[in-house]
Structures are given as structure tokens and as C-alpha cells.
Amino acid sequence: RTFNVAVLGATGAVGETMLSILEEREFPVGEVYALASARSAGQRIEFKGGYLAVQDVAEFDFSKAQIGLFSAGASVSAIYAPKAAEAGCIVVDNTSCFRYEDDIPLVVPEVNPEAIAQYKTRGIIANPNCSTIQMLVALKPIHDAVGIERINVCTYQAVSGTGKQAIEELGKQTALLLNGKPIKPEVYPKQIAFNALPQIDVFMENGYTKEEMKMVWETRKIMGDDSIQVNPTTVRVPVFYGHSEAVHLETREKLSAAQARELLRRAPGIVVIDEHKPGGYPTAVTEAAGHDGVFVGRIREDISHPRGLDLWVVADNVRKGAALNSVQIAETLVKTFI
Ligand code: A2P
Ligand code: 11C
């Protein structure tokens, strides 16, 4: 059985990767529709040795597709996801538009695949934020084994999380600065090349940014545990692909570093690289970018807390953080639920 798939945001950083992952993983596609704004209608995108012509989403008839993978921004999903669902196209939405609604499942397939069953209520399944996804793939086996009470996390996030214009901005600023020329920040409020910006998304009333609060809200919803305390600081760094995270945990029962390492080695989707020697850990550029795994290293017991554990967690934010996770949701949906 095959499924007609509509990819909305097909010309963007995530949408392009969704198409290549559908192809790579041999998702059982029938027709594939590449959708974007009127600006890029008619543009051609390579797919399975041929080309797809980009169509304006405003003119697309969603009853032609059974599955929609949406990644064109929250305001675009707000309009088109309900329309698509109404037309019988089940939407996997990679924006923040519906994530916090009680009757919309928010899914990381390695963590809470069973939640997909709830798609029937609204016809929409939400894909979490990239920084939450990779953290929870790593934390799920630990939470199942000993319970997690509190998470302190600092992130080091790549510019591809912002989209294509930000990827271009980092490249352009780097070249200009290396040539001794002045730069003018456009996408980010300050220079991103050779810098680190402690702001991702907008500021909230409590002084955290929205990216930070997404990690709090989404962790509780996906783990199905409102008692988990999460304290994030999210930072944008001059890396093109791959988010890194320093995660500090307080567990309910003691777990040794050796036990944690064993649990993580056996868990789905995780690659442990943890040797106490120079380079014996994963990094965004060397291990994660272009790969599917969530890489974990620097696993150690916190010397400042009796039930504390430290981890370094790295993944390709465009793949596992967005496009791959969405395709995995679609795979589970078609295998198990429809
Ligand atoms: P377009 O190329 O037509 O602007 P990125 O996050 O890499 O910047 O990509 C954003 C994606 O979302 C692009 O494919 C972009 O298409 C699409 N997009 C942005 N705004 C709209 C809109 N109003 N309607 C449809 N697609 C949109
Ligand atoms: C970033 N996490 O790295 C953001 C991108 O809620 O889907 C993803 C935003 C979202 O900038």
C-alpha cells in the first residue's frame, strides 16, 4: 500500500531534508507534492531521480494527499493544517502551532509512539522542537529506570534551526569578517559569526526565552510526567548543522555512570561515544551532522550532587530534530495506526 504525501515548506531547510529522507528510507510514497508559497511555485526539486514542481499551497487540494509533512512556520500551519485534516490528509506538523493543545499528540517515536493513536481526534500530530527531541531520546531510558526529578540543560544550537536565511547569514558574516570587512546583523540581533548568543526565539514574561520554555513544556508532555523540573539556557552558536547540549540530571534513585552508559548503549536511536581521551566524545560537525543518531558522551556522576548525572548530547537538528522525526512519526502511523 502506498500513500500520497504533501510536503509543505519543501523549499526550506527542513522540507528539503524531509524529501530526501522519504527517498532514503523508502517510505511507501505514491504521489509526492512539494508545496511552498506562491514565491517559489514552479521551482523544481529533485526527487527519486526525477523532479517535483513546487506548487503554491494556497491552491493545493489536500484531498489528494493522505499524509502531510508541514514545516513552513507556525502561522502557515495555523491556516493549512486544519484545512488539510478536514480534507482527510493526516498532518505531521513540525511547528509550534499545535504542540501544547491537549488533544494533539506530541511525539518522539523512541519515547512515546503510543501517543500517535490520538491523531484521530484532530487529524494532526505535532513534532516537537529539535532541542527537546534529542534530549528526550537520551533521557527516556534513564527516566524509565530510575526516574528523573530535575534537568538543568545548556544548549549550543546551530543556525540551521532558524532556517535557510540564517545559514546564509553565518556564511556571509564569516567571509566578510575574515576579509576585514564590516558586517550588519540581519537575521539575529547580534553578530553570530565567532560569537555565542544567549537568546533563541522571543523573550517570555518570566525572563526565559520561548525556546527554553518549549523544552520545559514539551518534556513534561512527551514524558507524560508533569513533576519533572526543567531549567534550560538555550544558546545560538556559529555551527551550521547539529545542536549540542550539556545536560545535568538529578534522578530519583541513584544511577551510576557505568549503569547509565549501559542503558544508553542498549537504547534505540542512541550512539554512545564516551572514552576518557582527547576527542573521545561526539561533536556536532564530526559525528552528528548528516547522520540520524542521537550521540551521547561525557557520561559522568555529578561531584556536586549524590544523584546527579552529566551527559553531552548531540544530534543533527534538521534530521533527528525535525525532518527525520517527522518521517519516523509517519512511518509508525502507517505501520501501526492506519
Ligand atoms: P518559500 O520558499 O516559498 O518562501 P526556511 O525555514 O528554511 O526558511 O524555509 C521555510 C519554508 O516555508 C520554505 O519552503 C518557504 O517557502 C515556506 N513558507 C514560508 N512562508 C510560507 C507561506 N506563507 N506559505 C507557504 N509556504 C511558506
Ligand atoms: C532553533 N529550535 O534551533 C529552533 C528551531 O519550535 O520548531 C525549531 C523551532 C520549533 O532555532
- Say whether 291 is catalytic: no
ipTM over 0.90: yes
How far apart CA 26 and CA 256 sit, in angstroms, is: 40
pLDDT in tens, 70-118: 999 999 999 999 999 999 999 999 999 999 999 999 999 999 999 999 9
Nearest alpha carbon to residue 161 among 95, 117, 253: 95
Ligand 1 atom showing the smallest separation from residue 167 Cα: 7
Residues with CB under 6 A from ligand 1: 9-13, 15, 36-37, 39-40, 57, 72-73, 76, 163-165
pTM value > 0.90? yes
Residue 157 CB less than 6 A away from ligand 2: yes
From first CA to last CA, the distance across the chain in angstroms is: 11
Residue 211 CB less than 6 A away from ligand 2: yes
Residue 131 CB less than 6 A away from ligand 2: yes
pLDDT in tens, 275-326: 999 999 999 999 999 999 999 999 999 999 999 999 999 999 999 999 999 9
pLDDT in tens, 216-268: 999 999 999 999 999 999 999 999 999 999 999 999 999 999 999 999 999 99
Ligand 2 atom showing the smallest separation from residue 214 Cα: 6
Strand-by-strand arrangement of the 229-236 sheet: 229-236, 148-157, 243-251, 308-315, 294-301, 270-272
- Say whether 243 is catalytic: yes
3-state secondary structure of 87: coil
* Ligand at shortest distance from the CA of 322: 2
CB distance 125 to 90 below 8 Å: yes
Which residue among the candidates 89, 97, 143, 243 is catalytic per the annotation?
243
Ligand 1 center from residue 65 Cα (angstroms): 19
- 10 Å CB burial of residue 261 (0-12, 13-18, 19+) is middle
Angle at 229 between CA 266 and CA 149, to 5 degrees: 50
Give the residue, out of 76, 129, 326, with the most ligand 1 atoms within 8 A of its beta carbon, to mutate for a pocket test: 76
How far apart CA 19 and CA 25 sit, in angstroms, is: 10
Residue 161 CB less than 6 A away from ligand 2: yes
- Beta-carbon contacts of 117 under 8 Å, excluding residues fewer than 6 positions away, are 105, 337
* Mean pLDDT of the chain, nearest integer: 98
Nearest alpha carbon to residue 322 among 143, 4, 96, 63: 96
- Beta-carbon contacts of 39 under 8 Å, excluding residues fewer than 6 positions away, are none
49 phi/psi in degrees, rounded to 5? 80, -5
CB distance 111 to 143 below 8 Å: no
